[in-house]
Amino acid sequence: MRLLLPLFALIAVTPGASAAPGVEPATLESLRAADARLAAIAYRLTTRNAGLCRDLEPELGLQLHTLAQYQPAARGSARTVFGFAAPVAVELVLPESPAGQAGVRADDALLAIDGAPLDTPAPGDAPASTGVRDALFARLAARAPDRPIRLTLAGAPGRHDISITPIPACRALAEVTFERDSYALESGVIAIAARSIERFDEQGLAVVMAHELGHLILKTQARLAAAGVKGGALVGELGRNARLRKQGELEADELAVALLYNAGYPADLAARFYRGPGKVLDYGLFRDRGTPGRSERIKVSEAAAAAIPPGAARPVVPAILAARDREMR
């Protein structure tokens, strides 16, 4: 999937990205295929681990995108490929999801939620922004996770309403980042490094995403802040700061094993990943002191897998889950 890096640089919202000179339809469809890979993995992990999460959202199994999130010069191509009969549209639908079963289709335009019009203005030539998309994510995520939702759509059948009963899921929004490493934010964003999407198959990406979901569930960012841990190129690598940051990473590694198992992956998947394709994530001498080495990740992942009895009923609730209520010290 070598097209992926130039693909996102051309059309997605990235820091310092310049206007795209025009985008081929095949390039935009490759973007949709990449997003679908992440969406399918996120759906599997977040719905099957809902019982371990305190922050839940109604999972519909569709992904929205907005015309505004594309670079101005790429918006004409985006309209050609994705339709965009309105500024907000359905980028993709997972077939077996509530939205898929209800009949929502990719490229349907979203006009209203529960009868309330979106009233999203066309972006014109404004710089690319995910602001509208992020606001919609927050609006939907704030709803009761199992409450039916009515979407007013415009598509092949014309304007129509579809009622969907969602599945409770861990609150998370998976997206691509051009940072070197993947990361999770308290807002629920899980940013997966574009290079990881190029390098890894579904199982490898599942390990990466499960680790970041582990950070969200364990409230790593908030607990580090409460402990007074500072970041930065130098301060973050010193003494207690580095030790607690590494602790947070290993906690997420440990929880990720259970998250993967609950989602139907093998319990030993994470350990095998770090031994194999995941070794590229260990930067050796260039690794900062707050990041565990590959051998540490393997050791923790193996121990977590060994703690899951063969054939254990899903979902398993590992002891490390209690860490979210503990101070980091």
The single-letter code of the amino acid at 84 is F
- Domain-embedded: residue 312: yes
Domain stops at, among 170, 201, 221: 170
Residue 28, phi then psi, degrees to nearest 5? -65, -35
Judged against a pLDDT cut of 70, whether residue 58 lies above it is answered with yes
Q: Are residues 241 and 101 in the same domain?
A: no
Predicted confidence band at 2 (pLDDT cuts at 50, 70, 90)?
Answer: very low
Q: What is the pLDDT of residue 150?
A: 98
Predicted confidence band at 3 (pLDDT cuts at 50, 70, 90)?
Answer: very low
Q: What is the pLDDT of residue 4?
A: 40
Q: Are residues 126 and 203 in the same domain?
A: no
Judged against a pLDDT cut of 60, whether residue 5 lies above it is answered with no
**Average pLDDT for the chain:** 89
Structural domains counted in the chain: 2
Q: Are residues 194 and 140 in the same domain?
A: no
CA 124 to CA 247: how far, in whole Å? 47
Beta strand 149-155 pairing with 109-113: antiparallel
Q: Are residues 188 and 115 in the same domain?
A: no
Q: In this structure, what CATH number is given to the domain that contains residue 104?
A: 2.30.42.10
Q: What is the pLDDT of residue 22?
A: 62
∠ CA 146-59-178 to the nearest 5 degrees?
Answer: 155
Kindly report the pTM of this predicted structure.
0.89
pLDDT tens profile 73-110? 899 999 999 999 999 999 999 999 999 999 999 999 99
Q: What is the pLDDT of residue 126?
A: 95
Higher pLDDT, 207 or 6: 207
**How many other CB atoms are found less than 10 A from the CB of residue 302?**
18
Predicted confidence band at 276 (pLDDT cuts at 50, 70, 90)?
Answer: very high
- Domain-embedded: residue 19: no
Q: What is the pLDDT of residue 7?
A: 45
Residue 202: alpha-carbon gap to chain centroid = 14
- Domain-embedded: residue 47: no
Q: What is the pLDDT of residue 10?
A: 46
Q: Which residues contact 237 (CB under 8 A, 6 or more apart)?
A: 288, 289, 290
pLDDT tens profile 155-186? 988 999 999 999 999 999 998 888 888 999 98
Q: Are residues 60 and 84 in the same domain?
A: yes
Q: Are residues 73 and 114 in the same domain?
A: yes
Residue ranges making up the domain that contains 302? 175-325
The residue-averaged pLDDT of 11-22 equals 45
Domain stops at, among 140, 170, 200: 170
The residue-averaged pLDDT of 140-153 equals 95
- Domain-embedded: residue 35: no
Q: Across the chain, where does the E strand assignment appear? A: 56-59, 62-66, 88-93, 109-113, 116-117, 149-155, 158-164, 167-170, 173-177, 183-184, 189-193
Judged against a pLDDT cut of 70, whether residue 219 lies above it is answered with yes
Which of 25-29, 83-87, 209-213 is predicted with the least confidence, judged by mean pLDDT?
Answer: 25-29
Q: Are residues 198 and 320 in the same domain?
A: yes
| DSSP code string of 33-54 | HHHHHHHHHHHHHHHHTGGG-S
Judged against a pLDDT cut of 70, whether residue 15 lies above it is answered with no
Q: Which residues contact 123 (CB under 8 A, 6 or more apart)?
A: 66, 67, 68, 72, 75, 87, 129
Judged against a pLDDT cut of 60, whether residue 11 lies above it is answered with no
Q: What is the pLDDT of residue 283?
A: 66
Show the tokens assigned to 22: 């025009």
- Relative orientation angle of helices 239-262 and 25-48, to the nearest 10 degrees: 90
CA 2 to CA 45: how far, in whole Å? 26
Predicted confidence band at 233 (pLDDT cuts at 50, 70, 90)?
Answer: very low
Domain stops at, among 143, 170, 197: 170
Q: Are residues 98 and 150 in the same domain?
A: yes
Q: Are residues 149 and 200 in the same domain?
A: no
Classify burial at 143, counting beta carbons within 10 Å of its beta carbon; exposed 0-12, middle 13-18, buried 19 or more: middle
Q: Are residues 94 and 179 in the same domain?
A: no
- Domain-embedded: residue 6: no
CB 160 within 8 A of CB 182: no
Q: Are residues 311 and 187 in the same domain?
A: yes
The residues that bridge with 167 in the sheet, in sequence order, are 59
The single-letter code of the amino acid at 23 is V
CB 53 within 8 A of CB 184: no
Range 173-177, long-range pairs (CB < 8 A, 24+ positions):
173/137, 174/38, 174/39, 174/41, 174/42, 174/209, 175/38, 176/8, 176/12, 176/34, 176/35, 176/38
Q: Are residues 128 and 227 in the same domain?
A: no
Which of 194-198, 253-257, 282-286 is predicted with the least confidence, judged by mean pLDDT?
Answer: 282-286
- Domain-embedded: residue 205: yes
- Domain-embedded: residue 130: yes
Higher pLDDT, 195 or 93: 93
Of these ranges, 112-121, 186-195, 287-296, the one predicted with the greatest mean pLDDT is: 112-121
- Domain-embedded: residue 24: no
Predicted confidence band at 12 (pLDDT cuts at 50, 70, 90)?
Answer: low
Q: Half-sphere exposure of 151 toward its Cβ, with a 13 Å CA cutoff?
A: 24
